[in-house]
Structure 1
Amino acid sequence: MQTTQTLEVKSLTLANNQHTRWYRFNSQDEINQATLKSILQTADEAIKKYGSFLIVLAGGSTPKSVYQLLAKENADWANWHVYHNDDRCLPADHVDRNSKMARDAWLNHVAIPANQIHDIPAELGNVEGAKAYAQTLAGVRTFDLVILGLGEDGHTASLFPNQAVDNSADAVPVFNSPKPPAERVTISQSRLDNTHHVIFLVTGAGKQDAVNNWLNGVAIPATLVAPACGVDVYSFGVQF
């Protein structure tokens, strides 16, 4: 791994008690390698402590690059359990499905048992898909690591601005998404909070307005995720 120049903001706590630790990297490769290292370290620690590693994946180009790196690793795959923070209500083999991206980039190339890869059945529609995924999550212990992205509008997972926060179940339907398709399934904010570690991956100058709002205490959806452990924000291409 190349030497990285990072900037950490250690004491940013928002009004909703979300504590953030901000890290700035100099290149896409640096953020990819740092994320890879953190995932593997968290996995090793969780397996030693619990006998399993529970990770929640995000969609997007930066996570995809990290997943492609994971595909080349020799990890203790037999003890990994994989979930998704959201997905689009499209056919399971549609190119825009987060689950298909993760399988193509990584999961199809490693020895994680098939019954430990938990895709969101969003092809069932947002209501039935959410019910089914809530059943999948029922009784699942605290996640070890949640990976999240940040949209230009400040959304994360499929938690969008100006939409009511639905914490009625661990997985909930999304209607009228401002980004197509309109129907999605997302893990709820409260279940995303039930984790030992969160990493936001924030890359690209197009995210600058959302980052500014976040830092200035504006209640964008990304600020909803406020676990007791705080959140790590890995960034490249934005200023703070």
Structure 2
Amino acid sequence: MTSVQIEIYPDRSALVARSRTLVKERIQTAIAAKGSCSIALAGGSTPKPLYEGLATEDLPWSKLHIFWGDERYVTLNDPNSNAGMAKAAWLDQVSIPKDHVHITPTHFEDPAEAAAAYEKTILQTFGSDRPEFDIILLGMGDDGHTASLFPHTEALNVRDRLVTVGEKAGEPRITFTIPLINQSRCVIFLVSGSNKQMALSQVFAKEADNTTFPSRHIQPQGELWWLLDADAGEVIQSLPNVQVL
């Protein structure tokens, strides 16, 4: 059964500070337990200051393996690249071995080939047909999507793959599937802004449509953390089924 923790912070800077502490703790726990830590990163504006903060930490970088939960189908130097943002903010500032940074391929003519190639990379890195990430960072859009799992898209139905092709407004994206995310030991949502209130009210409702609000699908076998700022979290505090710490 998924262990759910919901925390609401006064503003985004406090949210980022808490996420930095939590991610650092989970990295250290994983390394202490098994000698390495696998983490899948999110894109967007909210995690960028988290990555900038992690770049100043003293961690055993050689024991980390970095992936991305989703990626736009753009080149690494494109300003919309999730990997490009994380590299500039964090990964290029520390001594993580280059072969431990597993960037989503976006050079194939067919995005489906890229998804298959990234799945192969994950399987080879974990040495298991059921990889379990130590940490997966996620955001949530104001439509309730997470990673590149958008409402009423085919990617939501994929159960026999680890990675698939997502789609938004006709543009392909590479994304982890729901089963891969839910195999993880710890999922951390970072959600900021009042424009997320409607979607959050449905994600935490006792009954709602998972296909319309895909973040409802995320129920990992391990921990599930929702870190919200006050602008985003205000709407859920009155829900009878929600316990906020």
TM-score (norm 2): 0.86
What amino acid is aligned across from residue 119 of structure 2 in structure 1? Answer: A
| Long gaps (5+) in structure 1 | 1-16
Letter in 2 for 1:201: L
Could you say which residue in structure 2 is the equivalent of 1:197? 186
Query: What is the CA deviation profile of residues 127-179 of structure 1, one whole-angstrom value per residue up to 9, with x for unaligned ones?
Result: 1110110100115241101100000000000001011321231111124x13x
After superposition, the CA RMSD in angstroms is: 1.5
Q: Classify the secondary structure of the residue corresponding to 1:147.
A: strand
Aligned to 1:132: 117
Q: Percent identity, aligned pairs only?
A: 29
Q: Which amino acid aligns with 2:141?
A: G
User: What is the alpha-carbon distance in structure 1 between the residues aligned to residue 222 and residue 2 of structure 2?
Assistant: 9
- Superposition deviation, residue 64 in structure 1: 0.7
Aligned length: 221
Does residue 65 (structure 1) correspond to residue 31 (structure 2)? The answer is: no
Report the alpha carbon displacement of residue 230 of structure 1 after superposing the two structures with TM.
4.2
Specify the SS of the correspondent of 1:128.
Answer: helix
- Do 2:150 and 2:166's aligned partners in 1 also have CA atoms closer than 8 Å? no
- The reply on whether 1:224 has 2:208 as its aligned counterpart is no
Q: How far does residue 117 in structure 1 lie from its aligned partner after superposition? A: 0.4
Q: Within 5 A, what are the aligned runs for 1:1-240?
A: 20-124=4-108, 125-139=110-124, 140=126, 141-164=131-154, 165-175=157-167, 177-178=168-169, 182-216=171-205, 217-218=207-208, 219=210, 220-236=213-229, 237-238=231-232, 239=234, 240=236
CA shift digits 1:32-53 (9 cap, x unpaired): 1110011111111111111101
8 Å CA contact retained: 2:115, 2:174: yes
> Given the two structures, how large is their TM-score scaled by the length of structure 1?
0.88
Runs of 4+ in 1 over 4 A off after TM superposition: none
